[in-house]
Amino acid sequence: MRVEPFDTQRHMEFTRRATFVAGGVSCLFVGVGYRLWDLQVARHDEFRAQADENQFNTRLIAPLRGDIYDRYGNVVANNVPDFRVLVIPERTDNLRDTLVRLAAVMPLEAEQIDRILNKAKRQRSFLPILVKDKLDWETYASVNFHSTEMRGVVSEIGASRAYAEDAGAAFVVGYVGSATADDITRKREAADTDEAAEKAELLYRQPGYKVGKSGLERTLDDRLQGDPGSVRVQVNAHGRVIETYKDNAQPPSQGTAIGLTIDKDLQAKTLEVLASNYGEYPDEALGPHPLSASAVVLDIITGDVIVMASTPAFDPNVFSRGIETKLWRELNESPLKPLLNKPVQGTYPPGSTFKLLTAIAAQEQGIDPSTTVYCNGTYRFGGRDFTCWKKEGHGRLDMEGSIKHSCDVYYWHLATQLGIDQIAEVAQRYGLGQTYDLGIGAEAEGIVPSQAWKRAYYRNDPPNQTWFPGETLSVAIGQGAVTASPLQLAVMSARIATHKAVTPRLVRAIGGSLVPEPLFEELPGDPQNVKVVQDGMNAVVNEWGTAARSSLLPDFKMAGKTGTSQVVGLRRDPVTGRRLKNEEIPWQFRDHALFVAFAPYENPRYACSVVVEHGGSGSKAAGPRARDIMRAVLEKDPSNYDKHQFWKGQQDLTEVAMLGGAR
């Protein structure tokens, strides 16, 4: 047997390799051991917390929106039980088949089914999808009865927004609706931290959660929303809830209550008056009694908007429930514009109501109000005859008489002595051409024409930049380019009644605390100039002026001014050339009827404006409505309790109403 000699060199190479391998393995085990120690011992608390976060989540509980009350604590908007049906796609055998079976039990259109199916594709299958809310009890009970036949269908009772149908305050309060992607984006951007943004988005995406879409519901949405509650839940790896821990739940906090300046009863009364037939001529194309009208009543001491009514009105509950496409189209296409907030968004030539401002401007330019002008029915200017509304003329009139009889010739005479800028300055001072930030959406500024306005308006048309004297004649009687909203006209009347910068407001209390009443400053100018106008307005109503039929005597003395503004020029029969009466032309071409007033005359407290679109004469269509509205307002005034019992027993108006429900 042959023995190989020992290879010392080779043995040493093997030993080194073994040493390196053993060392590497040892380092590996040391590294793994250290890592295990780091994860399980050194960083145990950190990873335990992360594991808990994966296992336990916090779910938000939607809060109730704050209630909205009128000035005396009557509910205008609150929360009511909401019967709703949801579906959880994961639990259904076939989502489409389940929805088809559900449609046999409750109203569910094909487009709604498609919407739910599309939403199910975009979110996790175990998350519920709202099928329909605000169900009546019979439908809700029927769904519950058949729920065992429809896997994945869940019925629950939540809360939804409800508006008092008799409040007629849709344009003031507004309405709520489901949050859109834009709503979520705005909310995230307004959040202070990423955590707050995430929390807001989770809340907005909850089935059935609503946010303010218009009016004060939108403007005061942050206050009305309240603070969501929370509950801790255990979930599995897929995020599905396994168990809910109610012991640690944080209840939600209801949103802040808001008290309005609006009087719910007077609002309803005003809508009734506006919609009543006061002898208007119908239009066959619009039905037996087409009417589009608005009214505003202000407390001129506090600026409170007591009434802000627009007709035809709409029911905000249909928006909260989810308006149907057909109804939405009808509301948008109606010539009566029920979705337009006419008191603040409607603008009209103020007609003869503007003569009050022209009279003040004339006095400030040194024209003596006792100076008389003779009216024979026409006024010649620039080679053209302008015809007064009373074609046989008014005879000789001073300023008070011109207001009483609304003489056009008198104001055309004043216009030739005034510049447009002097008239514009007075108009703006008394409330026209400006907005008041009431919080209910876009307010129309209207137009107060001046030389600067015309230059800006026609900036691309140099030949028409000059203001012509003939244009001042039109503006002086409230025609031409000048326009105003009913709210502005009510403010104008309030400022004339007080000679103070009365500014309207809609919110009277927040969270049970009354908002301090403002103090209005005196307006520039001599109060005596305004006194002449006040006396003229008194004569209009109480001394056989143009609104004698609107007098409240002997109970109250109201001062007012009629206005009739043309929509189109003179209309004549194309065959005979005879001038057509207002009722003989299509409704949309008829004159607007206006009326402004304040009362009581001796100690003014309330101011009002009424506009009846295409109503014809202000003395016939607007004045009588203002009379009945102001009678209701004055009879409800606490100072008249002993004399008039019309409202007594409904609520004690001598006490300050605090929020918390109707008394």
pLDDT over threshold 90, residue 627: yes
pLDDT over threshold 90, residue 360: yes
Output the domain CATH number for residue 408. 3.40.710.10
* Within a domain: 580: yes
What's at 273, amino acid-wise? Answer: V
- Could you tell me if 411 and 276 lie in one domain? yes
- Between 356 and 281, the higher pLDDT residue: 356
- Could you tell me if 152 and 185 lie in one domain? no
pLDDT over threshold 80, residue 232: no
pLDDT over threshold 90, residue 451: yes
Backbone angles phi, psi at 513, to 5 degrees: -110, 130
Tokens of 25: 């393995």
- Could you tell me if 121 and 66 lie in one domain? no
Domain that holds residue 142: 82-163
Mean pLDDT score, 290-298: 90
- The span from the CA of 426 to the CA of 12, in Å, is 113
Hey, how many other C-beta atoms are within 10 angstroms of the C-beta on 96?
13
pLDDT confidence bin for 375, thresholds 50/70/90: very high
Backbone angles phi, psi at 424, to 5 degrees: -65, -40
pLDDT of residue 4: 57
Domain boundary among 163, 195, 226: 163
- Could you tell me if 129 and 276 lie in one domain? no
Output the domain CATH number for residue 118. 3.30.1390
pLDDT confidence bin for 106, thresholds 50/70/90: confident
pLDDT over threshold 60, residue 369: yes
Q: For 527-546, what is each residue's pLDDT tens digit?
A: 999 999 999 999 999 999 99
Burial code (b: 16+ CB inside 10 Å, e: under 16) for 438-471 equals bbbeebbebbbbbeebbeeeeeeeeeeeebeeeb
- The span from the CA of 133 to the CA of 116, in Å, is 14
Peptide bond into 554 cis (omega under 30): yes
Q: For 397-423, what is each residue's pLDDT tens digit?
A: 999 999 999 999 999 999 999 999 999
Tokens of 3: 């023995």
- Could you tell me if 104 and 228 lie in one domain? no
pLDDT confidence bin for 428, thresholds 50/70/90: very high
Output the domain CATH number for residue 234. 3.90.1310.10
Tell me if the pTM is above 0.95: no
> In this prediction, what percent of the chain has a pLDDT beyond 90?
46
- Could you tell me if 384 and 508 lie in one domain? yes
Averaged pLDDT score across all residues of the chain? 84
Total domains in the chain come to 3
Handedness of CA 606, 612, 613, 618 (dihedral sign): negative
Mean pLDDT score, 281-297: 77
- Could you tell me if 158 and 173 lie in one domain? no
| CB distance 209 to 224 below 8 Å | no
- Tokens 């001491």, located at residue: 301
pLDDT over threshold 70, residue 436: yes
* Within a domain: 654: no
- Could you tell me if 125 and 203 lie in one domain? no
Nearest CA to 414 out of 360, 462, 336, 455 is that of 360
Give the alpha-carbon dihedral of 163, 165, 166, 171, to 10 degrees.
60
* Pairing state between β 513-514 and 507-510: antiparallel
pLDDT confidence bin for 520, thresholds 50/70/90: very high
- The span from the CA of 624 to the CA of 390, in Å, is 21
Q: For 158-213, what is each residue's pLDDT tens digit?
A: 788 889 877 688 889 998 988 888 888 888 888 888 888 888 888 888 777 889 99
CA 236 to each of CA 56, 201, 233, 242, 249: distance values in angstroms, whole numbers, following the listed order: 9, 23, 10, 7, 20
* Within a domain: 649: no
- Between 275 and 491, the higher pLDDT residue: 491
- Could you tell me if 531 and 605 lie in one domain? yes
* CA 373 and chain centroid, separation: 46
Tokens of 451: 């030389």
* Within a domain: 653: no
Mean pLDDT score, 237-262: 74
Element (H, E) at 663: none
pLDDT of residue 169: 82
Give the three-class secondary structure for 234.
Answer: strand
- Could you tell me if 157 and 274 lie in one domain? no
* Within a domain: 222: yes
| CB distance 75 to 123 below 8 Å | no
Handedness of CA 300, 306, 311, 313 (dihedral sign): positive
pLDDT of residue 265: 93
Q: For 551-574, what is each residue's pLDDT tens digit?
A: 999 999 999 999 998 887 666 666
- The span from the CA of 130 to the CA of 332, in Å, is 27
* Within a domain: 208: yes
Give the three-class secondary structure for 505.
Answer: strand
Domain boundary among 207, 238, 259: 259
- Could you tell me if 66 and 89 lie in one domain? no
Backbone angles phi, psi at 4, to 5 degrees: -75, 140
pLDDT over threshold 90, residue 105: no
Tokens of 287: 């039905």
Beta strands of 215-282 (E only): which ranges? Answer: 229-235, 241-250, 258-260
- Could you tell me if 424 and 554 lie in one domain? yes
pLDDT confidence bin for 590, thresholds 50/70/90: confident
pLDDT of residue 285: 65
* Within a domain: 185: yes
* Within a domain: 206: yes
Domain boundary among 259, 290, 325: 259
pLDDT confidence bin for 348, thresholds 50/70/90: very high
pLDDT of residue 315: 81
- The span from the CA of 144 to the CA of 121, in Å, is 26
pLDDT over threshold 70, residue 157: yes
Peptide bond into 600 cis (omega under 30): yes
